[in-house]
Structure 1
Amino acid sequence: MRLQSLPLVAGFAVLALIVGTRAVLVEGQRANRAAARETIEYQELLSGLLSMAQDAESGQRGYLLTGEKSYLEPYRKAVEAIPGQLSRIDAMTASDDQLVQQISHIKDALAQKQAELAVTIALYDKGDVAGALRLVRSGQGKAAMDEIRASMDTIRRMEGAAIAERDEHTDQVETWLRIGSLAALFAIFLLATYTIRESRRRFREVATAQAELMGKNIELGNEIDTREKAESQIRQMQKMEAVGQLTGGIAHDFNNMLAVILSAMNLAQRKLKRGENDIEKFIEAATDAASRAANLTARLLAFSRLQPLAPQVVDTNRLVTGMSDLLHRALGEGIRIETVLAGGLWKIHADPSQIENAILNLAVNARDAMDNDGKLTIETANSHLDEAYASTHAEVTPGQYVMVAVTDTGAGMPPEVIARAFEPFFTTKPVNKGTGLGLSQVFGFVKQSGGHVKIYSEPGEGTTIKIYLPRFFGSEEPAVPVGRGKSSVKVTETILVVEDDARVRAATTDAMRELGYTVIHAASGPEALEKLDASSGIALLFTDIVMPVMNGRKLAEEAVARQPGLKVIFTTGFTRNAVVHNGVLDHDVHFLAKPFTIEQLDAKLRDVLDRTS
């Protein structure tokens, strides 16, 4: 019976062992669940601490960007709540050296971050906005936040490893228990159950990871918004700085020119009162200063892309060839000039005089960079700016262009000079050796013409500036430049001058009479129409554009309707007007920009009057 009972006892013993093992396993699982709950609670405390630090940082950033005290509310709440959160974390921190060390790192980094936030807010409150922003950009706060996150990640890994180790041990015991106590069918059932549990666990992990990813995306979006606001503020500051620089440059140069004009006119007046007539040098000085002032205005309009352009179909090779004599005179004998002209060069549609001015500006700059001794190369080529190039140059439209490159063997430019080369009034030349408007004028003209300009240079290696102007698609033949020699035609025409400014009207009338024309003048559009009806033989209407009651464009339309065949020249000093649209003169419009010299007036009058149609 003892032998028969032995299997039963053994069975009971095995059953007791199984039950006991199951009881131990259940208790172990309870302990694991309790440990997991504590771990989750601990992780939530750490996440809450990180969230408080981020709230404090967000409040500080909002206050620095807006100056509104209301943005500091999250900062104050976070600063008040952080000590209590740290106390709860300390209470739950196990006596593990590595864990205690990481908590200590978090406390130190958090203290550094709080100090950095407090200092920047204090600086901003004192009015030291630049100092506050400089401290923010120094990276101290970011480094502290990175240290906090790194320590928290380390803690998560440590506790995750501990939980994984406990789970692994429990799984091993359960596996052996199932193998020893259950039949194969029950073992399969348990395996299926285990598989389902694993799938659910993995699903929960995926859901948790997705939630974390969404949180990170929200944080990233907030960070992008913050950076965009900061960048917008910086751009506004840069714009204001550029406006200040431009205003100062204009005031400086115009004051110098006005000083010359006033001084020369005063001296001339004094000499005339004394009966002395040797005033030619004063008149020349005033005329030169006025011309330089007009040139400065033209350069500023070119930079701002507001100059009126008269585009034509241009053969660039022919234009460059025609500039040979001009370039040799402007650059002197010390500069060797070489031209490399591409065969089959495309046509462009641009203002030929402005192209010449751009090439001449670049050539003169190159001459100064070579100290009047070196080699200047002017090259033309067909070019294609593709999508890849346009993606790195936001202002470029992909397509076909004609390239004009001006290369010198001068000193070259460092990157910081290249970055500012097109800024108005920026120059590296000595005082009184340059206005700082040459390259800015080239830049404005090229952009107004829909093109692109690029500088390639290294110190000691010379400089190449490439101008890209859009290819012209059409069959129109390029315009042939007409010579402007003095006309020998006897002046017999009568001109009607319309100008609302009495001083300008008197000056223009006197200049035309000096040239031999018969002049009738009017102060407004309605008065001009009355005189047109009352007078016969008027050959040309010379009218200002910007006038009250009736502008120059409406006056011209009415005058031509009353007198077909009447020729018209428009003039103005205002670039946005009735005959200039998008910076380009309307078709078949004759225009003379103010101010103009008597020679320019003579040339324009003869050019228009001598036209057959």
Structure 2
Amino acid sequence: MSRGASIASTFGAMILVLAGLVIGLFNERAYQAGRMQALTAQAEVLAATVEPAVVFFDRAAAAELVGALEADPQIDAVGVYDASGVKIAELGRAPARSAPPSGVGANLAPLARRHAVTAPIMHEGKAIGRVYLHSAPDAAVLVVQRHAGIALLMITAVLLVALARGARDSELRAAREAGLRADELARLNADLEQQVQRREAAEDALHQAQKMETLGQLTGGIAHDFNNLLQTVQGALDVISKRPDDLERVQRWSRIGLDAAERGARLTSQLLAFSRSQKLEMRPIDVGAVIHRLHELLPTVLGGGVEVQFQTDGDERPVVADAVQLELAVLNLCINARDAMPNGGRILVSVLSEHIEDDLELSPGPYLRLSVADNGVGMPADVKARAFDPFFTTKGVGKGTGLGLAQVYGIAKQSGGLARIESSAGRGTTVTILLPQILKGLQDDAPASATPDPEGGASARVLVIDDDEGVRAFICDVLDLNGYDCLAAKDGEAGLSLLARESVDLMVVDYAMPGMSGAEVAAAALALRPGLPMIIASGYAESAALEEALGRPVDLLRKPFDSSALLARVAKGLRERTPPVTPAQAPRR
């Protein structure tokens, strides 16, 4: 071989060595990136899979899902944590290889040839926990396989070329296999996401079924109460119609009839709130006021033989929760307590404030302790241990879904607190909901003044659209007696016809009417008179749905209402109107 050829060969070998080193480094980075990507995908799949178990704090279900990863030799540690860092389930192949006890970060950097990743566990757009995966170290044969080619390249250029080609082919095969595996993982992940979505839909349906089950238990007792209320109202009107000149008797029976109608309205409002399917409305609420609304309802629902007592220290501060869901939780607890006392007994509902310092599950601070205690049969230890598990029930078929206590636990967790059970066989049961108190005050829900608008009254014209003649006449009489000029229409078409040719300052429209609904009438009225103040009267419509349909805030007046509530809303609407509302070509008549 000539010197030139030798130099060329040496130079070529050096180039091949350098090229081999560059290729080896690139392939090593690609390999590690592929492993990290696959590990991240596995973490995301696991997070989606264990989400229902974390929602219900089901350690057994979480452990079963985590245990499935034991078949993967590349995984040596797995951990599942809730939002506060409490470990729910874990997997470790050796004492030295286990998930951290707490405080896992959102991102962990690679450690030598071992990798650790975390993935958030999401529920309804919020992170409720996280999973932790740690990969096993590379097997020695894999390390040798990846780096032997580079070592041999430094010995001989020929072997370098051959081994580099073999190593490259091997890496390409591995890359193809990794791609196939990634595709398979993506397919499995898509399948898991569909399963999770189906399960969430099923759980939503079951939650609504639990509401309707509770509603069914409500209606039996309330039907009797409604008959009594209707009898009172009918009797009052009958006495008044026969003795209209007896002023004292008329006033007394008017008060009795109005009081009965008001109690019926409260019962109807609670039934509608319980049966409604809607998103949680988390806001500061007064728990004492929530419990006070149950004072009349609970004796009716629970029936005779059960004595209900209420206890409060009068020192509660607001908590952030959904008032309807919390009311439903207390109602469910009281129904469970009644069922645990087949021969009757006593239920104590208490609302007390306390300051918690040393509690492993709660942060220090002021809490509200809401408890429902009974002196019933109690629970044995094995039943108590599973009481908060979803779908677990000791009741017979058709007697309950097993979601009641699970909902109570979920409501407590959503509010930043927790629920606990104290019970033993023969000694009764106490279920306690601990909710963190806040310093921020309650929202001011005080009703507006019922005084007519000083700029309205005799000079304001109100259009009333309602298909019920009695309701229409009541509204117009109240408005006439208070100085308003009232136009009346029995349906949407007649009302819009009046609006097109008459001067109108405010419109009161019923929501549920034959033909055009109240929402359709309101939309058409706004097209004729942009900015026209309006009040939509309804016994069951949702303000959120109306606002979405109209694209603007809606003043919803819930039926039944009295004259004070009507006048307050009319005065408020006239005060807040944005002039001009009335076209110049529509003079008053």
TM-score, normalization: structure 2? Answer: 0.41
Structure number, greater radius of gyration: 1
Higher helix fraction: Structure 1 or Structure 2? 1
Higher strand fraction: Structure 1 or Structure 2? 2
